Structure 1
Amino acid sequence: MSALGRLKSWEGLLLALLVIIVAVNIEHSPYYLGVGNIVNLFQLSIEKIIVALIMTLVIINGEIDLSVASVMGLAACVLAWLFEMGTPMPLAIVGGLLAGLAAGLFNGFWVAYVGLPSLAVTLAGLIGYRGIARILVEDHPIGNFPEWFNLVGQQPLIGPVTVSIVIFALLFVIIAITLHSSALGRLVYVIGNNLQAARYSGIRVRLVKMTLFGASGTIAALAGILYAARLGSVRGDMAAGFELDIITIVLLGGVSIFGGSGNLAGVGLSILVILNLRNGMGLASITGNTQTSVIGALLILSVLVPNMAQTISNKWNGRET
């Protein structure tokens, strides 16, 4: 089978892996299929999978945003700092979202207009935004938020489904339509496939990249605010390390680290695989460090397997000719 065929069947492999994981979880835990556990399966990682949706577009576009977890923490800390200063919570929420938008546009400026690699720019952002967050809240947690705000992150909205899960579902539909059925989505693929050809074709590459990084910062800020609502308090180290899981979800979903290929269906299956895998390990009392190691191994495999398939295909095709 060619590399293209392997990549096209990636969703099938993910589906088979998901079935195996679910079967093992059912076998090992009588609580796995409970409604409460299924909701918790999503709720405990809801902020990560929200950010993974926009990260899909960024990586398909040929870029990466390592700063998303720090932007989540920054937005939550801006919100908490403004609230502690006496700002009404609705305005504090707006402030947190604007902080995320500003961080995203700042990243986008250096990538789109200055031409710096997004890996370097967002790695600097990962450090810098986290530093600002720590300065704002110093060493003490900030809490005592209004009850209605805490309920947004904790209270079921429709049956057992929370507001965060509803937001995720809406964003999934919106981003799926954007990526697969809109002019912007086509431009995202074209630029990710061949940046220079896109420029020579008259595509406004800078605007597309600025739009994606601005959206990445805003959605990361939204996820950070939802995380603050779920926890009921804010610390400077909030969401630290989340970027590993987020990027793993996207790459495991079949999105090429080099850009230009991938789809949201694969990312959706990847979300289910990782959430069920983490949930099963949690029910089996496997420690958090071991869980992180497993996710790290998945990240490595998600990068290596498609590239190995491509290399083998190239050698095979060369031999045939």
Structure 2
Amino acid sequence: MKDPLTQRLLFLCGLLVAAFIAGSLLSSHFLQASTVGYLLQYVPVLGVLGMAQTLVMLSGGPGIDLSIGATMSLVGLAIAGLFGLGVPLLVACLIGLVIGGVLGAVNAFLVCVMRVPSLMGTLATFFAYSGLALALTGGSPIGGIPEWFGVLSQGRFLGVPIHMWVVFVPLAVGLHVMLSMTRFGAHIYAAGNDERAAFLSGVNVWRLRFTLYCLSGVIAALAAIMTLSWFQAARPDAGEGMELLSVTIAVLGGAHIFGGIGRISGTVLAVLIVTTLQVALQLANISQAWQLAAIGILLIGSVMADNAVGDKLRARARRAAS
């Protein structure tokens, strides 16, 4: 009998194939070669946010980061603002990564130190960061980004956007290795599965979760840099809706909402499914409202599948313990 997580990955592969078939039926333009490049243009930004959300969820708590899209917007504005003040763009991007980590640390402080439930704490920072982004710009984008910076997200190598090669793939591989082959990754799963047992075995659960919220902010800053390169401008609404999509991707990929279960490989497959579905619906000229409804149905189905996998794994753990 296959491991439930392996079954989940096979299910996701089947769902991806089904999404491609549905896309080809919805639009005759879907199977064109140009559609692949268009589809992959969206994958890195959504994908890195989904991976950040997966990390936060895996550590338990339960953990969630609803401010991730607002963090992305605010960091993008900060980078563009620093560049406008004369800071070299690459230096501004490095500072943006630090700012992302600081914004993530605010979430970590609320959740890990003040003991505010992650849903409420990160919802509060979502409103704070979003409001600050609008207040600083009056709702207007900040332009003036040089054309050469667009190579990151608009350039192609072997027909694939460069930010797939230099950001998305290295991050996915790095996080997979971290979770599956390092002590830190083992501690993440231990904290998500049983916080008390992890603490008694020597895992500093507080520090672990604090670190992951900070890392989530840094990854959101990476998404901001890619978006800045793509649009050649910083928009205060660049991350609007991304928080819910990142949750959908994480849960669809197999991250259990209460922690301890999930893989980065599942998150990668999930972002491909969600992106394929979005592009197919756009090419078919289906309204945004129906697109959101489709994503909602997908999320409901993924939660149901997530609960089924979680029940199997917990039952297996109880049998092993007895």
TM-score between both structures, scaled by the size of structure 2: 0.89
Percent identity of equivalent pairs: 34
**Hey, what does 1:162 align to over in structure 2?**
161
Query: What letter corresponds to residue 279 of structure 1 in structure 2?
Result: V
Structure-2 change in CA distance of 1:314 and 1:185 (3 Å): closer
**Hey, what does 1:149 align to over in structure 2?**
149
**Hey, what does 1:112 align to over in structure 2?**
112
Equivalent position SS for 2:273: helix
**Hey, what does 1:14 align to over in structure 2?**
12
Q: Distance in 2 between matches of 1:190 and 1:6?
A: 18
Q: Distance in 1 between matches of 2:205 and 2:271?
A: 29
Structure 2: tracts of 5 or more residues without a match: 316-322
**Hey, what does 2:319 align to over in structure 1?**
none
Residues 100 and 218, structure 2, Cα contact 8 Å, conserved in 1: yes
Q: Distance in 2 between matches of 1:306 and 1:48?
A: 20
Deviations 1:268-304 (A, max 9, x none): 2212221221122122111222111111121122123
Structure-2 change in CA distance of 1:95 and 1:267 (3 Å): same
**Hey, what does 1:193 align to over in structure 2?**
193
**Hey, what does 2:274 align to over in structure 1?**
274
Deviations 1:64-123 (A, max 9, x none): 111110000010010122222232222221222221010011211222233222212111
Q: Distance in 1 between matches of 2:127 and 2:292?
A: 21
**Hey, what does 1:47 align to over in structure 2?**
45
Of stretches 45-54 and 60-69 in structure 1, the one that deviates more from structure 2 is 45-54
Structure-2 change in CA distance of 1:314 and 1:218 (3 Å): closer
Aligned residues: 312
Superposition map of 1:1-321 within 5 A: 8-62=6-60, 63-156=63-156, 158-166=157-165, 167-307=167-307
Of stretches 180-189 and 17-26 in structure 1, the one that deviates more from structure 2 is 17-26
Q: Distance in 2 between matches of 1:134 and 1:220?
A: 18
What is the deviation of 1:44? Answer: 2.5
Residues 7 and 306, structure 1, Cα contact 8 Å, conserved in 2: no
What is the deviation of 1:128? Answer: 0.9
Equivalent position SS for 2:142: coil
Q: Distance in 2 between matches of 1:237 and 1:310?
A: 35
Query: What letter corresponds to residue 160 of structure 1 in structure 2?
Result: G
Equivalent position SS for 2:79: helix
Q: CA RMSD in A?
A: 2.3
Q: Distance in 1 between matches of 2:148 and 2:17?
A: 38
Query: What letter corresponds to residue 165 of structure 1 in structure 2?
Result: M
Equivalent position SS for 1:24: helix
Structure-2 change in CA distance of 1:313 and 1:163 (3 Å): closer
Q: Distance in 1 between matches of 2:269 and 2:177?
A: 17
Q: Distance in 2 between matches of 1:153 and 1:314?
A: 42
Query: What letter corresponds to residue 249 of structure 1 in structure 2?
Result: I
Equivalent position SS for 2:121: helix
Residues 37 and 160, structure 2, Cα contact 8 Å, conserved in 1: yes
Structure-2 change in CA distance of 1:94 and 1:8 (3 Å): closer
Structure-2 change in CA distance of 1:221 and 1:81 (3 Å): same
Structure-2 change in CA distance of 1:45 and 1:306 (3 Å): closer
Residues 46 and 271, structure 2, Cα contact 8 Å, conserved in 1: no
Q: Distance in 2 between matches of 1:264 and 1:139?
A: 35
Query: What letter corresponds to residue 183 of structure 1 in structure 2?
Result: R
Residues 112 and 210, structure 1, Cα contact 8 Å, conserved in 2: yes
TM-score between both structures, scaled by the size of structure 1: 0.90
What is the deviation of 1:31? Answer: 3.1
**Hey, what does 2:318 align to over in structure 1?**
none
Structure-2 change in CA distance of 1:110 and 1:280 (3 Å): same
**Hey, what does 1:318 align to over in structure 2?**
none
Structure-2 change in CA distance of 1:121 and 1:295 (3 Å): same
Deviations 1:184-220 (A, max 9, x none): 1110000001112212222111221122111100010
Query: What letter corresponds to residue 209 of structure 2 in structure 1?
Result: K
Q: Distance in 2 between matches of 1:146 and 1:13?
A: 43
What is the deviation of 1:313? Answer: 11
Residues 107 and 121, structure 1, Cα contact 8 Å, conserved in 2: yes
Residues 70 and 239, structure 2, Cα contact 8 Å, conserved in 1: yes
